[in-house]
Amino acid sequence: MAKKTVKKKTEMNIKIETVGIIGAADDELIEISRSRLLSLNLLEMRKIAAHYKKKGRNPTDAELECLAQTWSEHCKHKVFNGIIDYSENGKKELIDNLFKLTIRKATETIRKKRGAKDWCVSVFEDNAGVVEFDDDWHFAFKVETHNHPSALDPYGGANTGIGGVIRDPLGTGLGATPIFNNNIFCFAPPDLPHDKVPKGILHPKRIFKGVVAGVRDYGNRMGIPTINGSLHFDMRYLGNPLVYCGTGGLIPVGKMEKQARKGDLIVAVGGKTGRDGIHGATFSSLELDHESETTSSGAVQIGNPIVEKKAMDVILQARKLDLYDCITDCGAGGFSSAVGEMGKDTGAELQLEKAPLKYGGLAPWEILLSEAQERMVLSVPPKNLAKFMKLCERENVEAVVIGKFTDTKRFVVKYEGRMVADLDMSFLHAGVPRYPRPAVWNTPKHSVPKVPAPANLTARLEKVLSIYNVASKEWVARQYDHEVQGASVLKPFVGADNDGPSDAAVIAPVLGSPRAIVVSNGIAIRYGDIDPYWMAASAIDEAVRNAVAVGADIDRIAILDNFCWGNPDKPDRLGDLVRASRACFDVAVTYGTPFISGKDSFYNEFAVEGDTIAIPSTLLISAAGIITDARKVVSMDFKSAGNLVYALGVTYDELGGSQYYQTLGHIGNDVPKLNAREAKKMYKALGAAIKKGLVRACHDASDGGLAVALAECAFAGALGARIDARLLPRDKNVKTDESLLFSESNSRFIVEVEAGKEDEFAARFKGLPCAKIGEVTDKKRLVVVGLKGKPVVDADIRKLKAAWQSTLAW
Amino acid sequence: MTTRIEVYIREDLVDAAGEGLIKDIEDLNVKGAKSVRFVRVTEIEGGISKGEARRIASELLSDPVSQRHVIGEVSGPVVDGAWVIEVKFNKGVTDTVADTTLKGIADMGIAGATGAKTSTKVVLRGKISKSDVENIARRLLANSVIQSFSIAKS
């Protein structure tokens, strides 16, 4: 693809090819799909051939490309919506539409149960999920992944990742105003020796730095604060880094309805069309290998935040003036996807020669499919056109009429009068065949450390604090502007020196109102190696408890799912997906936290020397909640000596998948489980206690367990603490100090309570696992007394902080 | 006609990007890098007078407090014996900074510019072999998917 010569565009030279698929043999169909990078399998190619046989003609190149991208995994989620032939530890069953039976069903169940109190506005329909915020505004939230492009060009890939997800809320309803970004990255360890990096892969440190710079430059230039995120490291992300980017926005109540109408003009707004990003949708449905660099260079997109910022400004003004009926962003699949979606119920006719191009020589199918950035498509009634165009002209934004919506239920594409494509909307959107894929999940067995831990765990705590997954991410967060728009309440870093890790971010986006949005995330990669069910359950719990820790009410938290998986054609990968999705249903329904939007990205595998590295099955859960009064939120740093330290939640013997075991080179088997019913009671109680002003600091225990949580609370507050671990609520199987301090059991918090308010605080947790475990001191030492009554941790908090900060202090 | 403007951080100030690259070079296990300075290069096509070029360089492309610029000359950081790596975009790759520069020039009321291109020059001082410099360029500076590089010794 990359070596294709660029012909200068002349009117005579526009090539519209017809592809001979009628009567083609199976191997020819496969070759057509392979050589054109269509990522269509034999079954799908056969269905297309049969469709065209009935029509009595062969498809054009543009039609084939259009079908390939609309039917791509990226757009149609064939795996999630498909049929799965599932076997779990030998027990077999057939699953018809996993997504409908788990994620979507969870939301439907919750909404039904809430009845009149349902606060969802739009779920799984639009470009972002939408919930109620206040009387005037709804809140829209979307998280996307941009993995494959970021593997090839980290800066440009991440750039367009953030640029793309900003356009999602902007293209939701009649347009939401972006108010924050978040981002979560997964990389291979950045200290990997260069000679260990296989051919065709960029070094993980370079990917890391490039991705951070890409997100920074785009987000900062758009004037949108980046308020929340996290970083995770595992060797298996070497060929496939994961780049999750999210954007939240506010949309006026009453601006949600959108529908393109017959006669409306199709207007392209923003960037010009080039060859960039061709085959993005189908490319993300391919496994990468060292050839990817050359075959897929078209998939690299170049972002231009200045163009997007201007387009955004115009759209938000036009929204106020009610100048358009419908809007969507040009993402994967470009015009073909955007116009095809908008005109799904009506029909559309495009005149491709009108599209503004970056340079000549583009074949019509390339213009149709290009994923050039910063483009939005609007449906403008003819009577509003002059006003809309004037607005664009004044703001120096390129806007061009490229067609109109019809009532033919056909998607017709022309180039200077010549037919480029003429597709039935129904075949395009509903024609993709469904077929069963095998999936298997068997309980694995991993090794556990055999050597007993030393009596003093201080050195081990320092080690855990310093590993990449736990260490301070301040080097990254400080490059992002988290203050622009002036709405931040709780920032990414908090405490005496503004360098302690905040559990969640809080912003109060409407000037003069204390009503706020809390944003957090949860991810539990290593647990998936033991059981993806508990990985997913833990990710939801982490996202929710992070929000609860700062003061969110669990009844006003919505969540988003982002699945990044390996090749779903391999039964073990797909088995993981079934396990994880089932946990999503169980936990979300118990918590009452609806999924409002999500995305999946498959084929995250890299072929190297005959072997394939698959990423660990990775589920990111993003949570966003409504806080009625931002003035009541609490941060995680200890505030004053003499205050009491409480622990909430039961510690189990659950070192499986822990960061502690990782430092010892093991995975283990006792993965953290979750009792969602019990946890919910505690979250309600904690939310109420924070609202009442009974909590001075609150921090959740996650990566690194209670030991890390205590250390972080102490050094963030520049205070010490004396803790008696024997007082911790714990399961009878917890028999060692290492298990007590480093287990990553879910649903646990460290809470600081003002001396004198302890009775009032404790009364709220009657019947729940809650215990006073020590007090805050001014000694600058963290002392933890272990099960034998002697200190097992005794460390200067400055030394612990240094261990935590030095790893990523680039 | 092409007008070449080079902008760089004042030599008495820290070049943060350069310091970062030195650390990355150490990670590559290449020893001997003494200093690294980055130079941002903008090439403007079209009829632009010397005075206009000076205005573009000082008002649009550089910060007069922390940066210096040269027009059609060799940049300050380039000294005898230094390696100079120049990284350019491949043909057909969108150069957004150049696009915005052109727009900025027009906004200044200067009419003659018809096109622009940007590239990055990295000036590397120290005792380093050519193959190591190539390694640095390939592994740390240019991404072959979208960029190419050239190496010269001044």
Q: Are A804 and A711 in contact (CB under 8 A)?
A: yes
**Nearest-by-Cβ selection for B27 from A6, A205, A274:** A205
Between chains, do B139 and A359 touch, taking CB under 8 Å as contact? no
Q: Within a 10 A sphere around the Cβ of A188, how many other Cβ atoms?
A: 25
- Closest Cα of chain A to B68: distance in Å? 23
- pLDDT score of A76: 81
Q: Which of A156, A191, A202 sits opposite B146 (nearest CB)?
A: A156
Q: For residues A327 and A339, give the distance between their C-alpha atoms in angstroms, rounded to a whole number.
A: 10
Instruction: Give which of A3, A5, A191, A194 to mutate to test B binding, by max B Cβ within 10 Å.
Output: A194
Nearest-CB residue to B140 (from A206, A307, A372): A206
CB nearest B94 (choices: A205, A209, A274): A274
A203 contacts on B by Cβ (under 8 Å): 139
In the DSSP assignment, the letter for residue A633 is -
User: CA of B94, closest CA in chain A: separation in Å?
Assistant: 6
Q: Judge: B92–A206 Cβ closer than 8 Å, yes or no.
A: no
Supply the Cα-derived Rg of chain A in whole angstroms: 27
Task: Assign 3-state DSSP to chain A and report helix, strand, coil percentages, each to 5.
Answer: 35, 25, 40
Q: Is A146 helix (H, G, I), strand (E, B) or coil?
A: coil
Homologous superfamily, domain A60-73+258-433 = PurM-like C-terminal domain (3.90.650.10)
Query: Closest-CA residue in chain B for A218?
Result: B96
Asked if B145 lies within 8 A of A152 by C-beta distance, the reply is yes
Q: Cβ A194–B23 below 8 Å, yes or no?
A: no
Write the CB contacts of A319 (distance below 8 Å, at least 6 apart in sequence): A174, A175, A252, A255
**Do the chains contact at B139 and A203, CB–CB below 8 Å?**
yes
* Sequence-distant (≥ 6) Cβ neighbours of residue A712 within 8 angstroms: A500, A501, A636, A699, A804
Residues of chain A with Cβ-Cβ distance to B145 below 8 Å are 152-153, 293, 297, 300
Using an 8 Å CB-CB cutoff, list chain B residues near A155: 143
**Structure tokens, A626:** 């409504």
**Cβ neighbourhood burial of A450 (10 Å; 0-12, 13-18, 19+):** exposed
Answer yes or no: are the C-beta atoms of A489 and A508 closer than 8 Å: yes
**Residue A33 in contact with residue A40, Cβ under 8 Å?**
yes
Residues A428, A416: contact at Cβ < 8 Å? no
Of A684, A613, A693, the closest CA to residue A648 belongs to A684
Residues of chain B contacting A359 with CB distance shorter than 8 Å:
92
Residue A656 in contact with residue A446, Cβ under 8 Å? yes
How far B28 CA sits from the closest chain A CA (Å)?
A: 6
Closest residue, chain B, to A197 (C-alpha): B139
- Within 10 angstroms of residue B111's Cβ, the number of other Cβ atoms is 12
pTM above 0.80, yes or no: yes
What top-level class would CATH report for the domain A463-485+635-810? alpha beta
CA distance A220 to chain B (A): 15
Contact A810 B23 (CB under 8 A): yes
pLDDT along chain A (810 residues), means of 10: 38 76 93 90 94 94 91 86 94 95 97 96 94 97 90 87 93 95 96 88 92 91 94 95 96 94 95 75 56 48 86 95 94 88 92 88 87 91 97 94 95 93 90 92 90 92 97 94 93 96 97 97 96 98 98 97 95 96 98 96 87 93 97 97 98 97 94 97 97 97 97 98 97 95 98 96 96 96 97 97 94
Closest of A102, A190, A792, A72 to residue A468, by C-alpha: A190
- Bridge partners of A142, per DSSP, are A247
Closest-CA distance of chain A to residue B5, Å? 22
CA dihedral A563, A569, A573, A578 (to 10 degrees): 70
Identify the residue among B143, B144, B147, B148 best suited for mutation to test binding to A, counting A beta carbons within 10 A and taking the highest.
B143
Q: How many residues does chain A have?
A: 810
Query: How many whole angstroms separate alpha carbon A474 and alpha carbon A508?
Result: 23
Contact (CB<8Å) A202/B143: yes
Phi (first) and psi of residue A378, to 5 degrees: -120, 150
Residues of chain B with pLDDT below 50 are none
Reduced to 3 states, what is the DSSP secondary structure of residue A611? strand
User: Which among A429, A423, A428, A433 has a CA at the least distance from the CA of A46?
Assistant: A433
| Catalytic residue (choose from A146, A232, A279, A482) | A146
CA-nearest residue to B89 within chain A is: A302
Residue ranges covered by each domain of chain B = 2-153
* A742-A743-A745 Cα angle (round to 5): 140
- Tell whether the torsion through CA atoms of A450, A451, A455 and A458 is positive or negative: negative
* Interface contacts (A, B; CB < 8 Å): 50
The β-bridge partners of A375 are A270
Q: Give dist(CA A246, CA A647) in Å, integer.
A: 32
Q: Who among B94, B143, B146 is closest to A358 (CB)?
A: B94
Angle at A760 between CA A756 and CA A764, to 5 degrees: 150
Q: What is d(CA A794, CA A763) in angstroms, rounded to the nearest whole number?
A: 32
Tell me the residues of A at the B interface, defined by beta carbons under 8 Å apart: 6, 152-153, 155-156, 191, 194, 202-203, 205-206, 209, 274-276, 293, 297, 300, 302-304, 306-307, 358-359, 372, 810
Taking the CA of residue A613 and the nearest CA in chain B, the distance in Å comes to 22
- State how far the Cα of A402 lies from the Cα of A353, in Å rounded to an integer: 8
Q: Which chain A residue has its CA at the smallest distance from B143's CA?
A: A153
Tell me the chain A residues in contact with residue B94 when contact means C-beta distances shorter than 8 Å: 274, 276, 302, 304, 358, 372
Alpha helices, H only, A122-231: 147-152, 154-170, 204-222
Of A371, A422, A405, give the one whose Cα is nearest residue A62.
Answer: A422
CB A629 within 8 A of CB A309: no
Does the annotation count A290 as an active-site position?
no
Contact B118, B99 (CB under 8 A): no
Q: How far is B89 from chain A (nearest CA, A)?
A: 11
Alpha helix ranges (H) inside A8-97: 26-35, 42-55, 61-70, 73-76, 78-81
Structure tokens at A135: 């009387």
Domain ranges of chain A: 60-73+258-433, 463-485+635-810
Cα distance between residue B154 and residue B133, in whole Å: 14
Q: Which residues of B touch A297 (CB under 8 A)?
A: 145-146
A279 given a catalytic annotation: no
- Cβ contact, residue pair A302, B28, below 8 Å: no
Cβ neighbours for A424, distance < 8 A, ≥ 6 positions apart: A409, A410, A411
CA pair distance A570, B53, nearest whole angstrom: 60
Residue of B22, B28, B94 to mutate, testing the A interface (most A Cβ within 10 Å of its Cβ): B94
Task: Name the residue facing B94 among A205, A276, A810 (closest C-beta).
Answer: A276
Class of domain B2-153: alpha beta
Sign of the Cα pseudo-torsion (B95, B101, B106, B112, in order) = negative
Of A293, A304, A359, the CB nearest to B96: A304
A275 vs B28, B92, B143: nearest CB: B92
Alpha carbon of A661: minimum distance to chain B alpha carbons (Å): 27
Q: Using the beta-carbon criterion (under 8 Å), do A359 and B92 form an inter-chain contact? A: yes
User: What pLDDT was estimated at residue A4?
Assistant: 37
Q: Which residues of B touch A (CB under 8 A)?
A: 20, 23-24, 27-29, 92-96, 99-100, 139-140, 143-146
| Facing residue for B94 by CB, picked from A205, A302, A306 | A302
Sorted by sequence, the CB contacts under 8 Å of residue A195 that are 6+ apart come out as none
Measured CA to CA, the distance from residue A631 to residue A508 in angstroms comes to: 10
Name the helix (H) or strand (E) containing B26. Answer: helix B16-27
| CB contacts, 8 Å: B24 with chain A | 205-206
What pLDDT is recorded for position A423? 92
- The confidence score (pLDDT) of residue A77 equals 86
B121 forms bridges with which residues in the sheet? Answer: B39, B86
A360 exposed, middle or buried (CB, 10 Å; 0-12, 13-18, 19+)? Answer: exposed
Determine whether the interchain pair A276/B139 forms a contact, defined as Cβ–Cβ distance below 8 Å.
no
Contact flag B93-A359 (C-beta cutoff 8 Å): no
Contact in structure between B105 and B113 (CB atoms under 8 Å): yes
Q: Which residue of A has its CA nearest to B141?
A: A206
